[in-house]
Amino acid sequence: MKKKIVVTAGTFDLLHPGHYHTLSYAKSLGDELIVIIARDETVKKIKGRKPVIPEEQRRMMVEAIKPVDKAILGSLTDKLEPILKIKPDYIVLGPDQTTFKIQELKDELKKHNLKTEVIKVKNYTKCPFHSSYDIIKEIVKRWCNKELQ
């Protein structure tokens, strides 16, 4: 029986429970979970800022998370390149993922004769720090307040 391969992708800058939830859900769909880590330059283009954590360090930390079998760096030129090489059975998009639009991604996959199912995580993990941006804001707030004391 063929192994089911699942792919998900993201920045994974400052890890939080939402990342773990998405990775756990993605792994539950198949036998092998491969995570594509956005390159520093790609994140800068999309978000207007480089990640706090360098790409190789983010890749290493994501690969250490229990549900993840392998983490790789994305392409600097074509976001679909690693997906076309892997040919996954499923692609899982996080709840706040905006780089890929579901229908556009499905259309691109179809052009390449891939029958990959695209699934978007519906539940957003609610916790005090559910985004890297919120973590950064809290650090800045606490650091600035400490400096003022």
Binding-site annotation, residues for ATP: 11-12, 16-19, 96, 124
Report the binding-site residues.
11-12, 16-19, 96, 124
How many residues appear in the chain? 149
H-run or E-run covering 98 = none
Tokens of 26: 């993605």
Cα–Cα distances in angstroms (integers) from residue 18 to residues 43, 50, 73, 142, in the given order: 19, 20, 20, 22
Q: Which three-class secondary structure state does DSSP give residue 35?
A: strand
Dist CA 114 CA 33 (whole Å):
18
- State the chain's maximal CA–CA distance in angstroms: 63
Query: With left for phi above 0 and alpha for psi between -120 and 50, is residue 35 left, alpha or beta?
Result: beta
By the 8 A CB rule, do 31 and 5 touch? Answer: yes
